Amino acid sequence: MAENLQLKVSIDSNSGFCFGVVYAIDLAEEYLDEYGKLYCLGDIVHNDEEVARLKKKGLVTISQDEFRELKNERVLIRAHGEPPETYKTALQNNIELVDASCPVVLKLQHRVKEAFDGQGEEQPVYIYGKHGHAEVKGLLGQTNGNAIVFQDIAELDDKVLPPRITLFSQTTKDTRNLYAIRDKLKARGVEVDFNDTICRQVSSRDEQLQVYVKNFDKIVFVSGTLSSNGKVLYGVCKANNPNSYFISSVEELNRDWFGPGDTVGICGATSTPLWLMEKVKEALEGI
């Protein structure tokens, strides 16, 4: 049996669920405790381990197609928010919505709708966000599908841009990228009505991680592979400590990453549960 590496392991106190995810999960558990079953429109959080935990408690994840066929049931709207069409369907099908939309996302939806209703075709709405992401679908719905979504400025390189646009961002995108996009659009002669709509709880983690990861020999970043925020924050870790490793579950840990007595920092996305990071810590201490 291999000798224990005696790793010195710490968990980043700033990592783990953001308040929007905490609210959604608390609300789900409250209803599950009372009724034993609750439908959820899409994964409640982009973390397979947490989804599996709540599934055992009675949370049933459904697709949009399944939602449209559902009647007389109770359905959770997760923190990412939903487009207006979802609320219309719920009314038609006598569905009770348990709305856990994040307040930051709801505020952004309102701002996108206001901009679209106020300016329309004269000043199109552009959204910097991931194609097909749940939050982005909700934002797009505020414009009846007419906003332009792009996840990389290169997507706009061969496009003829209007003289003036309104620019928003998905709440979990990288702040520096957003400002760089604004500057590139201005350099192309576009007048940009700029809105920094990145969640500060998310963006502040960027700055905190830059400092945190430099204190350790190795970093283990724990996140679901579908988490946009996870991809951004892992990039921050890797840029500031090249010895950073991405895992989604304890089983993905590799002893070969570590040396005897290494200091190891564990951090995660806004969708990473604390209990999972604690499991990773326990496993590392046993290596």
Q: Which residues are catalytic?
A: 135
Type and span of the H or E element at 64: helix 64-69
What is the sign, positive or negative, of the torsion defined by CA atoms of 123, 125, 128, 132?
negative
Cβ-based neighbour number of residue 76 at 10 Å: 26
Which residues make beta-bridge pairs with 268? 222
The encoded tokens of residue 94 equal 């006598």
Q: What is the DSSP track for 93-116? A: TTPEEEE---HHHHHHHHHHHHHH
E-assigned strand segments in 106-145: 125-128
Closest by alpha carbon to 222, among 204, 239, 234? 234
Cβ-based neighbour number of residue 23 at 10 Å: 16
**Is 7:262 a contact under the CB 8 Å cutoff?**
yes
d(CA 33, CA 24): 14
